[in-house]
Structure 1
Amino acid sequence: MFKDIQKKLLLQYPLLWNTKFVPMVAIGILMHIIFFGLGYIDGTIDFSNKNNIDIISFSIMIGILSVIIIVILWLVAYFKNNALKSFYSKSKNSLFFEWMQIFVICVLLISFYIPFSIGKQLHQRSYYSLEETAKRCKTISTADIFIDGSFSDTEIDSLASGLIDSQGNKIAQTDANYANEQDIEANTIDSAVALRYKDHIIFNNKKYDQFSLLNRNTFEFSVISREQDSLNKIQVNNWLQNNNEGEIKKLMADYMSLIREHNLATNLNATKWFEITYKAPDFNEFLYIQPYLKEFETENSYQYNDYETAVAVPYGENKYSKYFVQQDILKDKYDIVADAHTDAFIEIEMILSFLYGAFGLSILIFSFRVTSGKSWLIAVVVTGVINVIYGIFTAIAGSSTMYFYLILTTILGILFYFFLIFFNKKSLQLSRIALNLLLWSFSAIIPIVYFLTMEANKPDYYRLDEYKYYESPFYEWLKDHVVEMVSLNFILSIIFLFILSKVIRNWRGIAEN
C-alpha cells in the first residue's frame, strides 16, 4: 500500500515523495498510540503497594532508541534524492514547505512522551471521580490528626523573645543586634532562631497544650484548597472541644473502611483507635500511632513527617506505641489520584520544549539539505571553536553576560555577512558556511536580547526593612512573561524562516555548479 502511495506522490507531489512524509507521519502516529498504551499501563495504582508498576524509565529509553534508529533510516532514504538537484520546484515556497514537512515529522517522533503522560494521567483519574476523590482525601486528611499529623507552630512569645518589654511596649530592632551586618540572609536566620514560642495554643478562648490533638495538622491534598483544609481542621477541633464523639467515631469508621478496602495492614479497629486517642478534655495524653510498616514503606514514607522530631520525646523512650496503620500508603496513593485530577494534561512549557526540540532538529536537517555536507561540517567546527573561545573570554572577564553579548554580536554579524555575500553574489563556499550558522542561530536573537534586558534591570540591592531585593515593575513584568516571549519567538522564527527560504531559493549557491 505504501509503495502505491509513494508512486502516486512521486508523479503528482514529488516533494511529499522525496521527504517520505506520508510513511513517516504514519510511523509517528503509531508511536504515539503505542506510548499512550504504555503510559496507561504505567498509570496503574496498586493501593496495597505490593505490586507497583513503574515502566517510565524503560519506556523513555526504548522511545529514545527507537527515535534514533527511525531518524537514521529516514535520513538515509531522504538524502538519496536531492530535490534541489533532481526536480527542484519552481514554487517560491517549495523550500519552506519542505522544511514544514521535516518539522512535522520531527515533532511526531520526539514528542512520544506527551501521549505517554496523557495515558498515565487518564488511567490515574479513572479510579475515582473528582467528587469521590475529594471525599476520600478529606477522610484521610482529617484522620491524620489522630494518627501522626505534624504539630503547628504556636504563637511567638514576644516577651521571651525580647520583642516587647514587661509593659507591653515594642522594643526597636536595630542593625546592632546582628553579628554580621554584611549578611542579611544570615541575620534573618539568626534572628528567627532567637525567637521563643509559646507552649500552648488558644482555640475558642480555651488553652490547650502545644502537643494536643487540637494543634495537629491535616495532610494537604491538591483536590482540597487551603481554605477548605483550614475549615476541615477547625471542624475537627470543634468536634473535640464540644465532645462530639459521634462525628469522631464516624470519621474513624470511614477511615478504617478505606484501610480494609485496599487491604492495608493495621492492628487497630475504630473502637480501639478512639479509645487510645480520644482523651478529653485536654487531648494531650493520646498514644502515637505508627503510620507505616517498614516492609511496605513507600519511597515517600518519610517526606510527610519527621517521625523523630515531630514531638519532644524523653531520652530513652519511643515516640510510637505498639499500634500501627499504613497511613503513609493511603497518603501516597491518593495524592497521586488527586494530582491526576488537578494537574493539566499538558503544560505549555512542555509543549514549547518539544516544539523547540523539533525546530532545532529540523533546522539541522534542513541546513544540511540546502547547503552541502562539507560546509555543514565546517560550520559545526566553527560553532564549537567560537563557543570555546567565548567561554574562555567570559571566564577571564568574570562577567556572566559577556558570553551572551559576544554570541549576539556574532549572530548579527553572520546575518549581515550572509546577505552581503548574497547581494554581491561572491564567495560561494563562505556563504554556505554562513548560511548554516545563520539557520542554526537566528532563533536565539530574541531570547538573548530578552535575557540581557532582564540582567540589565536585575535588582542589585536589598530593602533592609523587608529583607529582600527590590524589583522594579519592569523586571517583574519580564519575569512573568518569559513563556509569552518564548512562544512569540517561536512564531517569529517560523515567519523569518519563511522569508529566508525565499532568499535561499534565489541564492546562487543553491545550485551545485
Structure 2
Amino acid sequence: MKKFIYKTNQYLLENYPIIWNTKLVWVLLSALILHILFFIFGFLAISNPEILHEYGAGDIFFDNGTVFISIILSILLLVTWLIFLFKNNAFKSFYPTSRQKLFKQFLIYLIITFFSTTFFISYNLGVKSYITSKYDDERIEKEITTSNTAALFFSKNIQDYTINQRRYPQPFNTLYCEVYNGKNINKDNIFLSFLDYEYRFYTLYKKEGTLSQGFSDPNYKGFVYHKTKDTLRTYFYKDSIFDVSNLVQNANPNYFNYSKTFYQSKKRKLKYGDTKYDEYVYTQEQNFTKTNELSNKQGHNLLKRNDASEIKQILTDFLVISDLYKIKHDLTVNIWFDMVYHPAENFKLKHLIRNEPKSTLLYASNNPETAIDTFYEEHITDYYLDHDSLYRAFENIEDIKTSEPFLESIHFFMWFSFFFSALIFMFRVTGLKSLLFTIISMGILTILVTLLTVLYAYITKFDDNSIGYFASYLTFILGSIILSIPLFYAKKIKKLVVAICLNISIIGFILYTFLIITIISLHQSDACVGNYSFNFNNKDCFNLMGSLGVNWSYILFIINLLFVYFYSAVIKNWKALPEG
C-alpha cells in the first residue's frame, strides 16, 4: 500500500503538479469512503418502523446525533488536508504560476471542501432510498386506503360521530348544521338533540366575490364557509331552517355520521383539491370538503350492506397493518368487532376506544362536570389503539419519499464551501498577516456603515423611505472603492493595503453583486407601487430580485466563479509587486 501511494504521488507530481500539491486524489478518496458509510448508515437508520411514529422522522440526521459525527469527521478531514496542503506553498517556493493555475487551485479547494462537508446529503439519500424501496407507492396507497376504511370504527372521539358531522346522503351534503349548547335558544325550531346539545339544520345560499370581500366588504360578512378557485371565491350563508327529523331517527352518536378521513395521501389531495387554498372550512361544527362527503358515503354504504364478514375483514386488515408498523394496541378482531357491530341499534356508538393505555394517561375525569363527560365515562373502555402513530408513520413516509436532500441543502453547502475555500485561497496567496488585517478591516467597515446609517436615520427622523437607500448606496460606494484599488492603484498604495482590498474583493464580490441587484429591485418596486417597499415577491410588480427567486443563488455563484477566474490575473500582478 505504501509503495502504491508513493508511485501515485510521483506520477501526480510529474504530470499533474497542482493535483499533487492540493492532495485532491487522497482527500476525495477519503471523502468518498465516508460518503458511502453515511449512505449505509442512513439506509439502516429507519429500519425500525417505530422511529416513524414520531413527528419529523426525516430529521433523524439531527435527532440521533449523526450531525455531530458528521461535523467532527468533516473537521478532521479538512484539518488533516490543510496540514499537508500548507507543507508546500508554490508562492513561497517561487514556483512559476499563471491565472489559470491560480483559478484551478481555488476550484480544487472548493471541490474538496464541498465533498468533505456534505455527508448530510449522503445520509439522507440513504434514508430516502430505504423508504422508497421498503414502502413502494402501491403498498402505501393500499395501506392508507385500508386504514381510512377502518377509521370509521376507531371510536375515539364522541364528536366524530354526532349528527352535525353527517355529509351523506343528500341533502346532508348541502345543509349546514348549527350546534347549540342548550342555553338561550328558541327550542321551537330545534328538531334534534343529544344530551346538552341541540342541532339545527339550515339550507344555504351563495354569493360570488373576490378573495378579500368576505373580510372587508360588509355585504359579504357572516358567511358559513367559502370555496376558492383561482382568484374567485364563493361564499355560503345560512338561508332557511330545514327539518331533518324525518331523515334520521335521533341525534345519538352513531357510525353513520362519521365523515372524517384518517389520512389523506398527497395523491388524494391533488385529486380532490382538498387543500386550504382550494377549499377552506370556516366553521368548526361541520366540514364541507369533498373528501368528507366521500368518506361519509363510503362508511354509509358499508354499514348499509351490513355484511359482518366484510367488516371483520376490514378490521383484520387494519390490525395486520398496525402490527407491521408496530403500532401499540391490545385489540383483537373479535373484541373490536363486538364493540362496533350493532346493526339492530342502527350502529349506535356504544363503546369508546382509548388512544393509549389507561395507565399512561396523565389524568382521568373521575368527577364529570357535564353530560357529555358523563357519557364519555360511561362508554369508555380499557382497550386502546394508538392510531395517531400510524398517521405520523404515513406522513413521515410520504415526506421522506418526496424530499430532495440534494436540492434542499445545496445552497448552504455550496456557499459554505465557497467562503471556506476563499479563506484558504486568501491565506495561501496573501499570507496570515494580510488575512487577519482583512478580518479586522471588514469589522471596522461594518461598524462604520452601521453608525453612519443610524446617524442618518436620526437626522432624517427615521424616515423609512430613505434609510434603506442610504445604507445600500453607502455600502455600494465603499465596495466600489475597495474593488478599484487593486485594479487601478496597486502600484501607488502600500502592498499590505492592496492585499486587504484583494481579500475583501474575493470574499465580498458576491455581496457586492447582490447589493446591486437589491438596489435595482428597490427602485423597481418603488416605481411600481409608488412607495418604498422590500416586498420583492409582489406579483403585480416586476423586479429583478423576485423574478428568479432562489435561482439567484446559482446565478450569483457562477458570477462569483467567473470573477475569481478573471481576478486571478490581478492577484498574480499583485504578488509580483515589490515589498514596501
TM-score where L is the length of structure 1: 0.76
Matches within 5 A, 1:35-50: 35-47=38-50
Name 2:389's counterpart in structure 1: 329
Name 2:417's counterpart in structure 1: 358
Structure 2 counterpart of 1:25, from 25, 28, 50: 28
Name 1:61's counterpart in structure 2: 68
Contact 1:221 1:338 in 2 (8 A): no
Structure 2 residue 101 is the aligned partner of structure 1 residue 101: no
Deviation at 1:388, TM superposition (A): 3.0
Matches within 5 A, 1:83-98: 83-86=90-93, 88-98=95-105
Contact 1:36 1:115 in 2 (8 A): yes
Percent of counterpart pairs with the same letter? Answer: 23
Structure 2 residue 551 is the aligned partner of structure 1 residue 492: no
Name 1:308's counterpart in structure 2: none
Name 2:183's counterpart in structure 1: none
- Aligned Cα RMSD in Å? 4.6
Per-residue CA deviations over 1:226-247 (Å, capped at 9, x if unaligned) read 1369355643344345656554
CA distance in 2: counterparts of 1:14 and 1:202, whole angstroms: 90
Structure 2 counterpart of 1:431, from 481, 493, 498: 498
Structure 2 residue 548 is the aligned partner of structure 1 residue 481: yes
In the alignment, residue 410 of structure 2 is paired with which amino acid?
I
The verdict on how the C-alpha distance between 1:76 and 1:313 changes in structure 2, with shifts beyond 3 A counting, is farther
The verdict on how the C-alpha distance between 1:122 and 1:349 changes in structure 2, with shifts beyond 3 A counting, is closer
Name 1:465's counterpart in structure 2: none
In the alignment, residue 339 of structure 1 is paired with which amino acid?
D
Structure 2 counterpart of 1:418, from 486, 493, 500: 486
Per-residue CA deviations over 1:7-42 (Å, capped at 9, x if unaligned) read 332233222222111111112212212211222232
Structure 2 residue 82 is the aligned partner of structure 1 residue 75: yes
Deviation at 1:500, TM superposition (A): 1.2
Per-residue CA deviations over 1:345-376 (Å, capped at 9, x if unaligned) read 43524112211111111111111112121111
The verdict on how the C-alpha distance between 1:236 and 1:68 changes in structure 2, with shifts beyond 3 A counting, is same
Name 1:314's counterpart in structure 2: 372
Contact 1:124 1:336 in 2 (8 A): no
In the alignment, residue 376 of structure 1 is paired with which amino acid?
L
Structure 2 residue 356 is the aligned partner of structure 1 residue 289: no
Per-residue CA deviations over 1:447-482 (Å, capped at 9, x if unaligned) read 334445555638989xxxxxxx99443359954731
Matches within 5 A, 1:129-144: 129-144=136-151
Structure 2 counterpart of 1:220, from 234, 241, 263: 263
SS at match of 1:44: coil
In the alignment, residue 34 of structure 2 is paired with which amino acid?
M
CA distance in 2: counterparts of 1:356 and 1:20, whole angstroms: 22
Deviation at 1:327, TM superposition (A): 1.5
Contact 1:276 1:286 in 2 (8 A): yes
> Bigger shift: 123-132 or 319-328?
319-328
Structure 2 residue 443 is the aligned partner of structure 1 residue 384: yes
Structure 2 residue 330 is the aligned partner of structure 1 residue 267: yes
Name 1:276's counterpart in structure 2: 339
Contact 1:428 1:509 in 2 (8 A): no
CA distance in 2: counterparts of 1:202 and 1:265, whole angstroms: 43
Q: Which runs of 5+ in 1 are unaligned?
A: 161-165, 172-177, 298-311, 462-468
In the alignment, residue 129 of structure 2 is paired with which amino acid?
L
Contact 1:289 1:322 in 2 (8 A): yes
Structure 1 counterpart of 2:152, from 137, 140, 145: 145
The verdict on how the C-alpha distance between 1:30 and 1:261 changes in structure 2, with shifts beyond 3 A counting, is closer
CA distance in 1: counterparts of 2:296 and 2:474, whole angstroms: 57
The verdict on how the C-alpha distance between 1:371 and 1:290 changes in structure 2, with shifts beyond 3 A counting, is same
SS at match of 1:438: helix
TM-score where L is the length of structure 2: 0.68
Per-residue CA deviations over 1:270-323 (Å, capped at 9, x if unaligned) read 3432443355686563433222347899xxxxxxxxxxxxxx972466474332
Matches within 5 A, 1:456-467: 457=525
The verdict on how the C-alpha distance between 1:480 and 1:470 changes in structure 2, with shifts beyond 3 A counting, is closer
Deviation at 1:259, TM superposition (A): 3.0
CA distance in 2: counterparts of 1:293 and 1:453, whole angstroms: 62
CA distance in 2: counterparts of 1:142 and 1:510, whole angstroms: 80
The verdict on how the C-alpha distance between 1:249 and 1:159 changes in structure 2, with shifts beyond 3 A counting, is closer
SS at match of 2:18: helix
Contact 1:43 1:119 in 2 (8 A): no
Name 1:464's counterpart in structure 2: none
CA distance in 2: counterparts of 1:284 and 1:454, whole angstroms: 64
SS at match of 1:220: coil
Contact 1:401 1:452 in 2 (8 A): no
In the alignment, residue 348 of structure 1 is paired with which amino acid?
L
Deviation at 1:377, TM superposition (A): 0.5
CA distance in 2: counterparts of 1:168 and 1:120, whole angstroms: 49
Name 2:233's counterpart in structure 1: none
The verdict on how the C-alpha distance between 1:8 and 1:337 changes in structure 2, with shifts beyond 3 A counting, is same
The verdict on how the C-alpha distance between 1:241 and 1:68 changes in structure 2, with shifts beyond 3 A counting, is same
Contact 1:404 1:448 in 2 (8 A): yes
Structure 2 residue 448 is the aligned partner of structure 1 residue 448: no
Contact 2:149 2:299 in 1 (8 A): yes
The verdict on how the C-alpha distance between 1:15 and 1:145 changes in structure 2, with shifts beyond 3 A counting, is same
